[in-house]
């Protein structure tokens, strides 16, 4: 299997050899080769999705040290350059513009090294995906009632830029946008908006098993405390708890 070989090579490169992990912290090396490597092979979340989740977490935390290797791992396991481009653009709005910029700088180098060509990069203004007007109007109305009076610009940008444009871009499926948004929220410990995005992701095709397994995966990349906080929210949003 190309996928698992690539994971092992990436771990080898990222974590073990370069960093001197086996000399400085043999126990962490053991946990990397044991539970962490096992995690990546668990069937409850496809390998490609684990790459998306990990990249979203690293971009959310602005951690550039592992980013090149995980970008390579993503490209070798079914994530396209266009999806990576779309992901960074998407996350700019959820974790801040300068995190996206940091990611762009690293990604440019990886794309150059791998010979990604310009036609693999999504256009600035492609035809947009269908909009569920009813759901969007409901969302807009709710935000308007909350903040329409004190911050009309926020409600305006949220509708016109985020939900009527960004989320409809075809470079990333709505389900994948949900997955990376949830991952970014968990990485930054932002539980307040998780229910909204969990529900939206479910409507867009993310299963409860995939959501729970994403949290389990994130436990290793953003720490147990953020993962446990997310599980509490996830449990509350489940129809059959």
Closest C-alpha among 239, 172, 180, 173 to residue 208: 239
Q: Which is nearer to a second copy, 4 or 65 (CB)?
A: 65
User: 125 to 144, contacts with a second copy by CB under 8 A?
Assistant: 125
User: 159 to 218, contacts with a second copy by CB under 8 A?
Assistant: 161-162, 166, 169, 171, 184-185, 188-190, 192-193, 208, 212-213, 215-216
By the 8 A CB rule, do 76 and 116 touch? no
CB of 133 to a second copy, least distance (A): 21
User: 83 to 112, contacts with a second copy by CB under 8 A?
Assistant: 85-86, 88-89, 92-102, 104-105, 107-108, 111
Count how many residues are written for the chain: 241
Is 153 a binding residue for a second copy by CB under 8 A? The answer is yes
CA atoms within 13 A on the CB side of 175: 10
Q: Where are the alpha helices (DSSP H) in 188-223?
A: 194-203, 208-222
Closest C-alpha among 36, 42, 46, 41 to residue 16: 36
Q: What is the spatial distance between Cα 25 and Cα 20, in angstroms, rounded to a whole number?
A: 8
CB of 182 to a second copy, least distance (A): 11
The region of 2-10, 24-32, 128-136, 198-206 touching a second copy under the rule CB under 8 A is: 24-32
User: 138: part of which helix (H) or strand (E)?
Assistant: helix 133-147
Quote the DSSP letter at residue 132.
-
CB of 76 to a second copy, least distance (A): 19
CB of 215 to a second copy, least distance (A): 6
Stretch 40-69: interaction string toward a second copy, x if CB under 8 A = --x-x------------xx--xxx-xx---
């Amino acid at each position: 299997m190309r996928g698992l070989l690539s994971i092992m090579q990436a771990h080898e490169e990222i974590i073990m050899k370069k960093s001197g992990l086996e000399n400085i912290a043999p126990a962490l090396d053991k946990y990397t080769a044991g539970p962490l490597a096992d995690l990546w092979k668990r069937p409850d979340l496809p390998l490609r999705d684990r790459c998306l989740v990990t990249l979203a977490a690293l971009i959310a935390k602005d951690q550039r040290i592992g980013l090149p290797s995980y970008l390579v791992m993503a490209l070798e396991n079914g994530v396209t350059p266009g999806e990576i481009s779309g992901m960074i653009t998407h996350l700019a709005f959820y974790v801040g513009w300068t995190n996206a910029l940091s990611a762009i700088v690293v990604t440019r180098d990886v794309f150059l090294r791998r010979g990604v060509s310009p036609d693999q990069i999504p256009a600035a203004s492609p035809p947009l995906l269908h909009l569920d007007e009813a759901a969007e109007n409901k969302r807009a109305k709710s935000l308007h009632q909350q903040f329409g009076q004190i911050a009309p610009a926020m409600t305006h940008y949220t509708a016109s830029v985020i939900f009527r444009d960004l989320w409809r871009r075809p470079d990333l499926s709505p389900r994948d946008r949900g997955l990376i948004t949830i991952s970014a929220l968990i990485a930054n410990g932002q539980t307040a908006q998780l229910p909204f995005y969990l529900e939206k992701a479910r409507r867009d095709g993310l299963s409860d098993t995939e959501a729970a397994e994403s949290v389990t995966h994130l436990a290793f990349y953003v720490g147990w405390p953020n993962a446990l906080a997310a599980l509490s929210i996830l449990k509350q949003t489940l129809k059959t708890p």
